[in-house]
Structure formats: structure tokens, C-alpha cells
Chains A and B, each alone.
Chain A
Amino acid sequence: MKIKNLYLFLIFLLLWACAIRESTNNTTETSEITTNVKIINQISIPCDTLPYNFEYSSILKKDNELYFVGLDESTNALYFYSITSQKFSYKIQKSKEGSDKVIIKDFYIHTQDSIFLLDHYGKKVQLIDSKGKIINNLKFKNEQNRNVVEALSSKRMAFFGKSNRMILPSFVEIEDTKNEFYEHGFSSLFAMTKDSLLLLTEIGRYPKEYIPIENSYYYSTYPDMIKYGHKLILNFSNHHTLFTIDMENKMNKIIEWKSNYLKEDFERLSLDNDIQQASNYISTNGFYTRITVDEETETLYRIVKHTQPLKNVEGKLNQYLECGFSIIYGKLDEPNPKEVLLEKGKYVPYVVHSIGNNQLLISLENPFNPNNEENKLQFEIIELK
């Protein structure tokens, strides 16, 4: 009997040792885990009949006031909420009819008096001032044969004022399950004149790991892009390394920032998936979502979605915003950035903006946040040091 117990103990020990080894192999730690999310301020803005759910958002600093700006596609308007005075301030409503019509699909705030609006299916870009008055309608001068401009929430627009260059999200009309798709860029570079946009070239290049292998791929392929100086920083969802790309289409590795909550290798999805399998893949797997940057302090924030089981204890599907999230942050040349774990089910970690002084404005409109009040648009300003 005693020998039997000893055998059982040895088997248990062996299994435990294997589990430890596997865990060590899969999660090489590169960032330092911290827990110091310091809540600086709670923002609560009454919004009875106003929209509160935004796929496209940005921030604007104007006259010592900070605004959260959200695009509401159903009303075709940009809504400006003052974070400083915690109230709705104004909106810019655009007409869907007439000669100056624009159906806003994305926007880019260059300065407080230069806001670019991307029209439906990339038909044109409209430049407006802070009151919504049209400065210019920029029409596409040459044919976009292969890479067609179209808005996508992760691939935002960017404008480089000194060189009058604009980068717009674009798509090749090839299925992303085909290898050929990965031979093309994922954005387009335009030269801006007074009233037109001239296509110069498609830009961007996928890391070699993105090419489908063994009938599987990463599914969500487009990188999150953010302007930084005269370059763009690229954040691929399934790659630990961050990249930059410049106007000459030169792509460089900046640094590897691996989350402690992700394994070394990413799961792949079968090429012949259906929408449910794709949805389950996104819900259960961990990957990098967004980046936001503070240009003054050269601090980058990288948002990480963690893995979660497909179903909860009741046998129902877990939802995307129920899973854990963390933020990796540090100077752009920091080889050992910090990583902070966010409270589960509290934030909407893809509505997050750097507002300077090591502070982030982050949405609390998570449907699984029990403290989120109806009819209020709520944020927290958190500090990460």
C-alpha cells in the first residue's frame, strides 16, 4: 500500500515538473510586472440622448481644455466631450446629401483647426476646421488599382504636415487567407496638394510569420499604426516586436516588448474557418491590441489582451471584454518595460489615449462593469510610472 502511494506521489511529481517546464518554455518573461495603476481622476459626463459607444475616437487639447472626440456613424457626426469640465461640449454634424456631403468613416485631428475626415469607401478626404467649416475637399487624383482606401478602426489615418504626406488605411482586394495578400502593403501613401491627394505608393510589409502555413493563419492581420515624429509605429497583434515605418517604406524593428501574459508562440486559425470559429478564436486567444504614445516623454503604451476559456462555469460563451488585459509601457528604447494588470471587466482597453504626464484616459464603458452608470459617459485618468 505504501509503495503504491509512493508511485502515485512520483507520478504526480513528474507531471508537476513537466507542467512547470512547459509553462517556463512558453512564457519567457521580458517585462517587469507592476501593480501601480494610480487613479488620478474619475470622469463622468451626462449623455442622456448622446452617443457613448465609439469605435473611432481621439483626443484634442484646445485652450487649456482636454476633449474626448468620438465618431458616431449613425448621426454622421463628431462629438466633443470636455474631459476638463466633464460635460458635452459640441458636435460637428456633416451632411450625407449635397455637393459637400461626406459620410465620415474615420477622422484625424492634425491641429485644433485642421481635422481630416475620411469619406465612405475612401471617395475623398475633407479638411475642416474646429467648427466643421470646410477648408478643402481633397479628391483622389489617380486611380487606386490594387490598394483601395477604406477605413478600419485599428489602421488610422496620419498626416505629416512638413512634407504634406498623408497615410490612409487601404486594402488589396485579395483574400487574407492567400499568401499573395502578404506580398502587398497595408496602407497607402499620398502627396497632398491644395485640393487633391496623389497616390505615391502602397506601404507596409508583413513580418514573415504572418504568411499562412499548414492551412492556418493569424486571422486578424492588420497592424495598429500610430504617428510618431516623421514615422509610424506599427503594432502587430501576433508579434512581440514593435516596428517603425518611414515615408520611404523602410520598416525597422524597434524593440521586442513581450507581455508576461502571452506565450512565445501565437495560436493560428484554420483557413477554412467560419465566423463562429473566428469569433471564438478572437475571444479565447491572447494578443496585442492597441498602442498609444506620449511623444513628449517618448513613452509607448502597448495594450495586451489575455487568453480566456471559451465558456464560463454556466457553459455560456465568455465575451471579449470579460477577459483580462494589461498594459506594457516604457521609453521606446527600454528593453525591460513595465507591465501593469488592469482590473477585469472594468475598462474598454481599446478606447485609450495618452494625455501626457504619464497619464492615460481610458474608457469605463465596459458592459460587464457593474459600476458603470447608465446615461453617463465615464472614463478614468490613470497614471503609470
Chain B
Amino acid sequence: MNKIILYFVLLLACFSCSQEKLYNYQNDFELYLKEIHHLKESDFEETIFYVLDVESCSCSELNFKSLSMLLTSKNVVLVIIGTSKIWEHYKPKLNYFTILEDVKSEIRRYETGLGKPLLLHYKNQEIIYYQNVTDQEIAKASAYILNPN
């Protein structure tokens, strides 16, 4: 009997671990992409989203420099929030990525946890990797894009 209880406790623990979310704002983030950028469920099958606020984050240039050195753009979508001269400068250099622009910063109407850039990797409509890209971890984000999973 005790073994059965222990089995259930472990099963429950495993279940709760697998349900633990990496990223707390998945619902609103997807709602934002669907309502503002008209994405569909199928757009979350195999995509890496890199979300960057070019008006508020002084880190834009560092991120763009790093992204412009990548030779792969497979399944990577840059979501650019706001407008800035730095973005206008880098835009032609990054045009091999799929780019979604949110000029009016509509993302601010949604709870997405955006401050420093967000890196979110979707596979089969689930987030399998999440990174809040601090200045010290820009290289780590680029390394993940080069070699995801």
C-alpha cells in the first residue's frame, strides 16, 4: 500500500515538474502575436522569436551586432518594438531574418515580461527554451540560435 502511495506521489511530482512553465507569460505573448501580427497556431510549430524593444532598451546595438554576425536565420523571427535610428541602421543588415515590426509598441498592452530582449523557442506549440537576454548573455542567445535544442 505504501509503495502505491509513494508511486502516486512520485508520479504527481513528475507531472508537476513537466507542467512547470519556463516562461510565465506565454498566453499573453501568443495573444499579442495573433492579435497584432496575425500569426496562426501553425506559426508556433518550430520558431525562435527574438523580441527586442529598440526604444527602451539601450542594449539594441549590442544585440543587433551579435545577430548580424549569425549566418543562419532558419526559423528565427525578429519582433522589433518601437522605432530608433539604430534599428534603421541595422535593418538592411538583418533582412535575412523574418521581421515583425511593432512601431506603436502595442506589446505594452500585453503582459509579456519584456524588458531586456526575450528569446523564445517554440516547438509543436510549446516553449522549449526561454532566455531573458541580459547584456552579459547576448553571446549565449546567439549560440543558442546557432545550435538550438
Contacts and interface: CB of A to CB of B under 8 A. Distances in A.
A74 B108 CA distance: 22
Given A74-B84, A74-B85, A316 B115 contact: no
B109 interface: yes
Contacts of B24: 274, 276
Nearest to A283: B108
Nearest to B35: A316
B77 interface: no
Interface in A185-240: none
B106 to A, nearest CB: 9
Contacts of A316: 109-110
Given A74-B84, A74-B85, A276-B25, A317 B113 contact: no
A136 interface: no
Contact of A274 (B84, B108, B110, B113): B113
Interface in A253-279: 274-276, 279
A280 interface: yes
B86 interface: yes
A15 to B, nearest CB: 32
A316 B111 CA distance: 9
Contacts of B111: 276, 280, 317
Given A74-B84, A74-B85, A74-B86, A275 B113 contact: yes
Contact of A317 (B86, B110, B116): B110
Interface residues of B, number: 14
B114 interface: yes
A144 interface: no
Interface in B73-116: 84-86, 108-116
Q: Which of A75, A276, A279, A280: most chain B Cβ within 10 A? A: A276
Contacts of A280: 111
A152 B84 CA distance: 21
Interface string A128-141: 00000000000000
B109 A275 contact: no
A319 B110 CA distance: 10
Nearest to B113: A276
B87 to A, nearest CB: 11
Contacts of B110: 316-317
A181 to B, nearest CB: 20
A74 B109 CA distance: 26
Nearest to B85: A74
Contacts of B116: 275
B116 to A, nearest CB: 8
Nearest to B84: A74
B132 to A, nearest CB: 8
A316 B108 CA distance: 9
A74 B24 CA distance: 33
B124 to A, nearest CB: 26
Contacts of B113: 274-276
B115 A319 contact: no
Nearest to A275: B115
Q: Which of B85, B108, B110: most chain A Cβ within 10 A? A: B108
B101 to A, nearest CB: 17
Nearest to B109: A316
Contact of B112 (A74, A75, A276, A319): A276
Contacts of A274: 24, 113
Given A74-B86, A274-B24, A276-B25, A317 B108 contact: yes
Interface of B: 24-25, 84-86, 108-116
8 contacts: A74-B85, A274-B113, A275-B113, A275-B114, A275-B116, A276-B112, A316-B110, A317-B110
Given A74-B84, A275-B113, A275-B115, 12 more contacts: A74-B85, A75-B85, A274-B24, A275-B114, A276-B24, A276-B111, A276-B114, A279-B115, A316-B109, A317-B108, A317-B111, A319-B108
Top 3 closest pairs, chain A to chain B, by CB: A275-B115, A316-B109, A276-B113
